[in-house]
Amino acid sequence: MQVILRQQQDKLGEEGEVVTVKPGFARNYLIPRGIAYEATDANLRRIQVEKERAAKRAADEFGEARAEAKRLSGVSLTFNVRAGEEGRLFGSITNQDIADRLSEEGISIDRKKIELEEPIKALGVYSVPVHLHSEVRPELKVWVIKEE
């Protein structure tokens, strides 16, 4: 019996794949649990349409991410902070601080997309990656200077 998998199944196949299984396995396990459904002509057409929509949506997201990366490539943020004698900050600069400063510049980025490994705690220039898409990761320049 041929079924279409609705989700990835170990040792059986990936989501959207048409696989041949024993009829009892399909009727008693896969179909009742919603893991697969019968591979009829209508279901095969529906899967094809869903794949086309997903591919179009992925292409649109990639294009939007590239456009946003182009805007972010020229952005440089400067933080004037209080610091001690050795250049250590009296606090830190987090990804939330960077997201807030970007929103002041008119760029809306979720703080979770800013990949700051740990908060910035010293003076200097930092390159901070931003995860916009799995293939698009622009970097921001963050300048941390001592407040006069």
Q: What is the pLDDT along the chain (148 residues), one digit of tens a residue?
A: 999 998 888 889 988 889 999 999 999 999 999 999 999 999 889 888 988 998 999 999 999 999 988 988 888 999 999 998 888 998 899 999 999 999 998 888 999 999 998 999 999 999 999 998 888 899 999 999 998 7
What CATH number does the domain containing 86 carry?
3.10.430.100
Whether 50 and 81 share a structural domain: no
Helix (H, G, I), strand (E, B) or coil at 111: helix
Residues 12 and 45 in one domain: yes
Strands 88-93 and 120-122: antiparallel
Q: Is residue 130 within 8 Å of 137, Cβ to Cβ?
A: yes
Per the structure, the count of domains in the chain is 2
Q: Are residues 114 and 126 in the same domain?
A: yes
pLDDT at 72: 87
- 89-100 burial, b at 16+ Cβ within 10 Å, e below that, comes to beeebebebbbe
Same domain, 100 and 142: yes
Instruction: Say whether both 90 and 42 belong to one domain.
Output: no
The last residue of a domain, from among 11, 35, 66: 66
Residue 133: which domain range? 69-146
CA 43 to chain centre: 30
pTM across the whole model? 0.68
Residues 88-118 pLDDT 10s: 998 899 999 999 999 998 888 999 999 998 9
51 and 62 co-located in one domain: yes
**Same structural domain, 80 and 43:** no
Do 39 and 53 lie in one domain? The reply is yes
Q: Could you say which of 13, 36, 66 is where a domain stops?
A: 66
**Last residue in a domain, options 66, 96, 114:** 66
Q: Are residues 39 and 103 in the same domain?
A: no
* CATH code (residue 33): 3.40.5.10
